[in-house]
Each structure stands twice: as structure tokens, then as C-alpha cells.
């Protein structure tokens, strides 16, 4: 499957239907797989963490979970530029940056020519749950806090009554707890493992432990998705999600996330801009 490179991180050029076809294959091919839901925060974290970057690039599937990735892939696509001064190049690329960024609101299709679709991790969980119900596969929910995993399991079970919930456990991503968590998961023999330890930590935990979780066919880090599915946190209205302004909604509701959101917006855009100028120059 084709991939696009964004600041050294490879993301699959895919759509939801294709992802679900891949998941069906992962559940039946007799091997172990892991999915990453790559967003701008992942890419920024990978700039200073080569281990994490390697994990992202070696994932069986890296889905674009962030409108910023659609924008960046489109903005970085065309690197051809006539010979101009360094100053003129920076101004030219800055104007292109503003124009392409504005298209997210005024003409969203413009940014969907390289990466055709944003695939939100929360939505993917629901679709994987439906697929597991259809194929009689069991799901284990690992991580989260304040029993949010239990509530999430109930919500999934309420919508998909025949879904097999193998187990729910909070635990931690610390290496010292790895053996304990492996025993708990292995005793339940799930087919699918959803891990909510927070970005970077959950992906490292999966790669560190997957080959010792013999029944697990597919693992995926889900970040704070349990909070939204359980209802503990409210998801941004559809308008904000469609226009790429979900970050604005979240910072208004959860101001303590300001630093993370700045990293996923301003610093990410600035890094992409600088990368483009340096590659074009």
C-alpha cells in the first residue's frame, strides 16, 4: 500500500473501507499486527524519539488521524520551485501555506488529494468492534483511568450485543508491570487488544509485549478514545471535526491540554513549512 512521508513518518494513503478490509485480513492470516493512528502530535514526538519513529514506520497500518496530516501531505506534495532568492522562496512558501491552510475551511477537497480521508481513532474503534462481532472475535480493553475502560466496554456491548469483551484492566505502561499485564491478557486470550496508555507510551508497550501475547492478532493504541466513547469527555461537534478546528474546541473545553494542542498545530505547521523551504531551496 502506498505511503506518504511527513517529516520522516510514513502514513498510509488509505480510506476507511480499505482499513476495514485490512483488519479482516489481519484477523485471519495467522500473524500478529499492530495499527497506529498517526496524528500531528505523533509526528512531532517522533522528531525527538527515533525509537518511536521506527515503531510508527514499521506498523502494519498507519492511519491518518488528523486533518493536519491531510494538509501537510498536500502542501509537501509539490516541491518544484523556480530559482529564486532564499528570502523570496520563504515568502512564496508562506503564501502557499496560508492558502492551503485556508482551504481546510473554504475548500476541504483541496487537501484530500494525497491522503484522501481522515480516519479518527474513535470512529475506528466502533468499526473494529462491529467487525469483531461479525467474526466472533474477542476484544480486551487495557488502560484508561477511573474505570473508564469498564464504561467503554458497556457502551460497545450496548451497541453490539454479540460482541465478546474478553476483559478490561487499567494497569500502567511501566516496564516493571509488563509481566503482570501479559499474564492478565494471556489468561483472557483476546483476539484484539485496545491499549489506552496515552500516545507514545501505548505504542511502545504494544511493540515491547505483542510477541508474548500469543492470542492477540491485532493491537492498537487508542489514546484518550475510551474517555470519549464512555461519555467522560465530550467530542467536538461535527462542524469542528469537518473543518479541522477540533483542536480549537478541545482547548476551549480542556485548557490544560494547551501545550499539547500548540505542538499539534503551531509547531507542526512551522516544522512542515521549514522542511518544505529547506527541501525546495
Same domain? For 207 and 127 the reply is yes
Residue 28: give the domain boundaries.
3-65+118-230
Considering its fold, how many domains does the chain have in total?
Answer: 2
Residue 281 has what pLDDT?
A: 61
Residue 142 within a domain: yes
Same domain? For 102 and 44 the reply is no
Same domain? For 98 and 199 the reply is no
Identify the CATH number of the domain in which residue 43 sits.
Answer: 3.40.50
Same domain? For 161 and 209 the reply is yes
Q: Are the beta carbons of 74 and 114 closer than 8 angstroms?
A: yes
**What band does 40 get if pLDDT is binned at 50, 70 and 90?**
very high
Same domain? For 159 and 271 the reply is no
- pLDDT (tens digit per residue) in 67-81: 889 999 999 986 555
Mean pLDDT of the chain: 88
Residue 199 within a domain: yes
Same domain? For 272 and 139 the reply is no
Residue 176 within a domain: yes
- pLDDT (tens digit per residue) in 87-132: 666 777 867 777 776 666 656 677 788 999 999 999 999 999 999 9
- pLDDT (tens digit per residue) in 209-231: 999 999 999 999 999 999 989 98
Same domain? For 198 and 225 the reply is yes
Residue 266 has what pLDDT?
A: 82
Same domain? For 123 and 80 the reply is no
Q: Report the C-alpha gap between 124 and 221 in whole angstroms.
A: 11
Same domain? For 85 and 181 the reply is no
Same domain? For 205 and 140 the reply is yes
Q: Report the C-alpha gap between 126 and 67 in whole angstroms.
A: 20
Residue 78 grid coordinates: 509539490
Q: Are the beta carbons of 141 and 167 closer than 8 angstroms?
A: yes
Residue 154 within a domain: yes
Q: Give the other-Cβ count within 10 Å of 186's Cβ.
A: 14
Same domain? For 25 and 108 the reply is no
Same domain? For 96 and 133 the reply is no
Residue 251 within a domain: no
* Helix pair 50-57, 201-209: axis angle to 10 deg: 70
Residue 19 within a domain: yes
Residue 21 within a domain: yes
Residue 179 within a domain: yes
Amino acid at each position: 500500500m502506498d505511503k506518504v512521508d511527513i517529516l520522516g513518518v510514513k502514513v498510509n494513503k488509505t480510506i476507511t473501507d480499505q482499513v476495514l478490509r485490512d483488519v479482516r485480513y489481519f484477523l485471519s492470516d495467522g500473524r500478529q499486527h499492530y495499527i497506529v493512528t498517526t496524528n500531528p502530535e505523533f509526528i512531532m514526538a517522533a522528531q525527538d524519539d527515533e525509537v518511536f519513529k521506527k515503531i510508527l514506520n514499521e506498523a502494519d497500518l498507519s492511519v491518518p488521524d488528523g486533518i493536519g496530516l491531510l494538509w501537510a501531505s498536500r502542501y509537501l506534495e509539490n516541491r518544484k520551485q523556480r530559482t529564486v532568492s532564499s528570502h523570496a522562496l520563504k515568502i512564496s512558501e508562506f503564501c502557499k501555506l496560508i492558502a492551503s491552510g485556508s482551504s481546510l475551511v473554504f475548500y476541504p477537497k483541496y487537501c484530500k488529494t494525497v491522503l484522501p480521508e481522515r480516519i479518527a481513532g474513535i470512529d475506528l474503534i466502533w468499526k473494529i468492534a462491529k467487525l469483531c462481532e461479525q467474526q466472533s472475535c474477542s476484544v480486551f480493553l487495557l488502560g484508561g483511568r477511573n474505570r473508564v475502560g469498564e464504561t467503554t466496554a458497556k457502551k460497545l456491548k450496548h451497541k453490539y450485543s454479540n460482541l465478546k469483551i474478553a476483559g478490561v484492566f487499567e494497569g500502567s505502561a511501566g516496564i516493571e508491570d509488563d509481566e503482570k499485564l501479559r499474564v492478565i491478557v494471556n489468561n483472557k486470550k483476546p483476539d484484539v487488544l485496545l491499549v489506552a496508555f496515552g500516545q507514545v507510551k501505548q505504542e511502545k508497550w504494544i511493540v515491547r509485549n505483542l510477541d508474548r501475547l500469543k492470542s492477540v492478532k491485532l493491537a492498537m493504541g487508542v489514546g484518550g478514545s475510551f474517555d470519549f466513547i464512555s461519555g467522560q469527555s465530550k467530542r467536538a461537534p461535527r462542524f469542528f471535526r469537518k473543518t479541522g478546528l477540533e483542536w480549537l474546541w478541545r482547548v476551549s473545553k480542556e485548557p490544560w491540554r494547551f501545550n499539547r494542542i500548540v505542538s499539534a498545530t503551531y509547531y507542526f505547521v512551522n516544522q512542515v513549512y521549514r522542511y518544505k523551504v529547506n527541501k525546495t531551496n
